[in-house]
Amino acid sequence: GEDVEQSLFLSVREGDSSVINCTYTDSSSTYLYWYKQEPGAGLQLLTYIFSNMDMKQDQRLTVLLNKKDKHLSLRIADTQTGDSAIYFCAESGGYQKVTFGTGTKLQVIP
């Protein structure tokens, strides 16, 4: 079945950039997503990219997609303490089901 892999933990200093990486196996993925989970809460969609794009920018967030290598990354510029959360990469082939990754816990050090 589909598989989505992420590193489990990332620590950065406040003001630095964070880069969270993800690899996926399903070559028919149509949509790729980044979700954010703050402590004690459910997941919330942060941003997404279509598989026919290679980059998407949204304020401090930049998503890069390398479809050949099935690699997705999320860059957060000027990381703030409020960005501390778990970030999930996810993919969907356009049907109802979405496959989520293992999640990367981002710790921002003041």
Partner 1 sequence: DVKVTQSSRYLVKRTGEKVFLECVQDMDHENMFWYRQDPGLGLRLIYFSYDVKMKEKGDIPEGYSVSREKKERFSLILESASTNQTSMYLCASSSSVRTSGIYNEQFFGPGTRLTVL
Q: How far is the CB of 39 from partner 1 (least distance, A)?
A: 11
Taking the least distance from each CB to partner 1, the nearer of 4 and 65 is 4
Q: E strand or H helix at 4, and its extent?
A: strand 4-6
Distance CA(27)–CA(42), nearest Å, equals 28
- Pair type for strands 104-109 and 31-37: unpaired
Rounded to 5 degrees, φ, ψ at 81 are -60, -30
Q: How far is the CB of 13 from partner 1 (least distance, A)?
A: 24
Rounded to 5 degrees, φ, ψ at 83 are -85, -10
What residues contact residue 40 under an 8 Å CB cut-off, 6+ apart?
Answer: none
Q: Which stretch binds partner 1 (CB under 8 A): 11-19, 51-59, 62-70, 86-94?
A: 86-94
Of residues 28-67, those binding partner 1 (CB under 8 A): 30-31, 33, 35, 40-45, 48
Taking the least distance from each CB to partner 1, the nearer of 46 and 108 is 46
Q: How far is the CB of 15 from partner 1 (least distance, A)?
A: 28
User: Is 71:8 a contact under the CB 8 Å cutoff?
Assistant: no
Residues that bind partner 1 (CB under 8 A): 1, 4, 6, 8, 30-31, 33, 35, 40-45, 48, 88, 92, 94-103
